[in-house]
Amino acid sequence: MKLLTLFSMLAFGSLAIPRQDDELAKSIERGKMVYSENCITCHMGTGEGVTATFPPLAKSDYLMQTPENAIRAVKFGLMGKITVNKVDYDNMMPNPGLDDAEVADVLNYIMNSWGNSSEKKMITKKMVEEVKEKK
């Protein structure tokens, strides 16, 4: 009987406490919508971008190695030269006007799509709030 009670407590307790995997999955789903509404025109449906014009997001070393720069780019826009997968891009990405939660969601989607893996690390709204625009 004690074993059954313990099992019930563990089972119901795990349902009541949201797991990060669940939160990440929800964020990715929301981010997919944000991506389709704001990013797909330039970066394409599979994140491959447009050679020499819009950098790829798929298997992107820029995004995966420097998440703070990725947050800053999505939050504030980007102007000037960047190098992605050893290719230089010098264009402008306007500020998409997303709120901090949308920035986190779209980055979670991008960082877990098209060959990218965040290894279950989640970009949070708080992380986005902490990133400041470089002057």
DSSP helix/strand/coil, 59 = coil
Domain membership flag for residue 56: yes
Read off the pLDDT of residues 29-68 as tens digits, 9 standing for 90 and up. 999 999 999 999 999 999 999 988 999 999 999 988 988 9
State the total domains in the chain.
1
Domain CATH for 46: 1.10.760.10
Task: Using 70 as the pLDDT threshold, list the residues of the chain that sit under it.
Answer: 1-20, 135
Q: Give pLDDT, residue 86.
A: 94
Residue 112: inside a domain: yes
| Within a domain: 79 | yes
Instruction: Kindly provide the b/e burial profile for residues 47-84, where b requires at least 16 CB atoms within 10 angstroms of the residue's own CB.
Output: bebeeeebbbbbebebbbeebeebbbbbbbebeeebeb
Q: Is residue 80 assigned to a domain?
A: yes
Q: Is residue 119 part of a domain?
A: yes
* pLDDT score for 14: 47
Domain that holds residue 114: 20-130
- Inside any domain, residue 38: yes
| Backbone φ and ψ of 113, nearest 5° | -130, 160
Specify the pTM.
Answer: 0.82
Count H helices and E strands in the chain, helices first: 7, 2
